[in-house]
Amino acid sequence: MNSIEVINLKKKYKLRSARKARYDTLRDTIVEKVKLLGSIAIKNRSFSIEKSTDFWALKGVSFEVKQGERIGLIGANGAGKTTILKILSRITIPTQGFAVLRGRVASLLEVGTGFHPELTGRENIFMNGSILGMKRSEIKKQFSQIVEFSGVDQFIDMPVKRYSSGMFVRLAFSVAAHLESEILLVDEVLAVGDIQFQEKCINKMKDITEKQDRTIVFVTHNMAALKRFCQRALYLEKGEIVFDGQVEKAIENYLALGDSITGKIKWPDHARPGNNDIKISKMEIINQDLKPEKSIYISHKYYLKITYEVITDNVKPQFSVVLSDKEGTCLFGSINNTDKEFYGKKVLKGNYVTMCEFYANLLNAGTYLLSLIGFSGNFTEQFRIDNALSVEMLDDGILKGDYPGNYGGLFRPKLIWKTEKIDA
């Protein structure tokens, strides 16, 4: 029996060109309408009308998911993965087509949706649980298990604003892991929290699916998690399903795509990623001579250059860069909070460039992917650009010295060796 049936789903978004304001104002709308009237009346095209263009995020997607099946959705940014989840979870409506879901649906597009910093852990469990669709009686029944699973029992009556971010994520996750719905829609949420806890969550969810025959739709960029967790995968490209079937084959499709990611990306004004405060306009890999370059020698340092516009005053731009291998396994991340002169200070509107230096002798030869996560103050309002850039590390042999063979592994650090003779 099918748990989810999706039939010819289409979704259209309107893109406005060259818009800087973060929302419509009544004035804009009136001005536009008057211009339109004016141009009709005088039949003159000199009135420049901002024409909105249509963007099809989904161009007719159909698939079925059997009950108890765990299916992964993969593809580049903007391929339509999240749009599918948003439609299935009824956050937004399809422009055309429909879907049938059999069973209670819970969606997890973000960890800790609805958590309020002023409320205690206990209050937030109830709040968050009911937002995720749990009944009060269910939350009560599972309350002690949720608290135990999260490991924050000592702090449960403390406002969550005093929690560390790790504790916050663990508590939020625990609520989600105890959802008792028949269908669970999960977006890349497993990318936060510490690895051990992620593992615990994956196992818990896996456990529930196997025992309770639960259906899971999982959007991810992490091929390792996909392999471990899903039985089937859909590979999407530009709003269409290109491949539907075995996880391994879908990953092959996805990796082939990885080669097409470049060391430089620039967004047109209307499509700039970001949130209400910040819009990213450009990201590039810069070599040690400060020139854009995708291929970097292992023994050279290089930079990630982020060019962005701050749209509102008094914003605190915060960035986190995550470097992963081609399969999506995270190697490391870094936050710009080491930039003491800039970080945490409110900045005014304008264009900014943030550089992140990667030191020489860090990665082994190979291709790596860079993702950017952005915040605008206190780690809220996040946006992420997964696998925005790729950087190719070339072996210049300097570190090898007289060694003729190859190094394995993902890193190639220049470690410090020293030998002394000791007298026995």
Partner 1 sequence: MRKDLETTLVTGKRKPFWFVKELIKYRELIFFLTLRDILVQYKQTFIGLAWAIFKPVTTMVIFTFVFGKIAGLPSNEIPYPILVLSGILPWQFFATSLINSSNSIVSNRELVTKIYFPRMALPLSSFGVAIIDFFISFVILVILIVSYGLVFSWKIVFIPLAIFFCIVLSSGLGLLFSSLNAKYRDVSHALPFFIQLSLFISPVAYSDSIIKGNLKIYFSLNPLTGLIGIFRWCLFDNISIEWQSLCVSLSITLFLFIIGYFYFTFSEKYLADVI
DSSP conformation class of 359: P
CB under 8 A: which stretch of 88-96, 203-211, 236-244, 347-355 binds partner 1? 88-96
369 counts as binding partner 1 under rule CB under 8 A = no
Report the residue from 72, 75, 80, 94 that binds partner 1 according to the rule CB under 8 A: 94
Strands (E), 176-253: 183-187, 215-219, 232-237, 240-245
Q: What are residue 280's DSSP bridge partners? A: 308
102 counts as binding partner 1 under rule CB under 8 A = yes
Report the residue from 88, 236, 261, 356 that binds partner 1 according to the rule CB under 8 A: 88
CB of 61 to partner 1, least distance (A): 12
87 counts as binding partner 1 under rule CB under 8 A = yes
DSSP conformation class of 422: -
> What number of other Cβ atoms are within 10 A of residue 43's Cβ?
6
CB under 8 A: which stretch of 131-139, 320-328, 384-392, 414-422 binds partner 1? 131-139
Give the integer Cα–Cα distance in Å for 421 and 383: 55
90 counts as binding partner 1 under rule CB under 8 A = yes
Backbone phi, then psi, for 365, in 5-degree steps? -60, 145
Whether 223 and 188 have beta carbons less than 8 Å apart is answered as: no
127 counts as binding partner 1 under rule CB under 8 A = yes
> What number of other Cβ atoms are within 10 A of residue 172's Cβ?
26
CB of 89 to partner 1, least distance (A): 5
CB under 8 A: which stretch of 128-136, 142-150, 266-274, 406-414 binds partner 1? 128-136
Report the residue from 31, 36, 40, 100 that binds partner 1 according to the rule CB under 8 A: 100
DSSP conformation class of 287: -
* Strand pairing category for 317-325 and 330-335: antiparallel
Report the residue from 17, 33, 38, 104 that binds partner 1 according to the rule CB under 8 A: 104
**DSSP helix/strand/coil, 110:** coil
Give whichever of 105 and 296 is closer to partner 1, judged by the CB atom. 105
Report the residue from 17, 34, 36, 135 that binds partner 1 according to the rule CB under 8 A: 135
Give the integer Cα–Cα distance in Å for 370 and 386: 7
Whether 365 and 358 have beta carbons less than 8 Å apart is answered as: no
Rule CB under 8 A: which of 8-47 touch partner 1?
13, 23-27, 29
Give whichever of 114 and 366 is closer to partner 1, judged by the CB atom. 114
CB under 8 A: which stretch of 34-42, 82-90, 170-178, 369-377 binds partner 1? 82-90
Q: What are residue 330's DSSP bridge partners? A: 324
Give whichever of 135 and 249 is closer to partner 1, judged by the CB atom. 135
Report the residue from 17, 53, 92, 312 that binds partner 1 according to the rule CB under 8 A: 92
Type of residue at 46: S
**DSSP helix/strand/coil, 366:** strand
**Binding residues for partner 1, total number by CB under 8 A:** 48
Rule CB under 8 A: which of 168-187 touch partner 1?
182
**Selection from 109, 96, 50, 60 nearest residue 80 by Cα:** 60
Whether 108 and 132 have beta carbons less than 8 Å apart is answered as: yes
Whether 295 and 396 have beta carbons less than 8 Å apart is answered as: no
Report the residue from 74, 76, 105, 156 that binds partner 1 according to the rule CB under 8 A: 105
Give whichever of 73 and 88 is closer to partner 1, judged by the CB atom. 88
Report the residue from 16, 35, 66, 116 that binds partner 1 according to the rule CB under 8 A: 116
Report the residue from 110, 199, 339, 395 that binds partner 1 according to the rule CB under 8 A: 110
- Record the tokens describing residue 359, joined without a space: 């030191």
Report the residue from 8, 32, 56, 119 that binds partner 1 according to the rule CB under 8 A: 119
> What number of other Cβ atoms are within 10 A of residue 351's Cβ?
10
Q: What are residue 128's DSSP bridge partners? A: none
* Residues binding partner 1 (CB under 8 A): 1, 13, 23-27, 29, 67, 86-96, 98-105, 107, 109-110, 113-114, 116, 118-119, 123, 126-127, 130-133, 135-136, 159, 182, 381
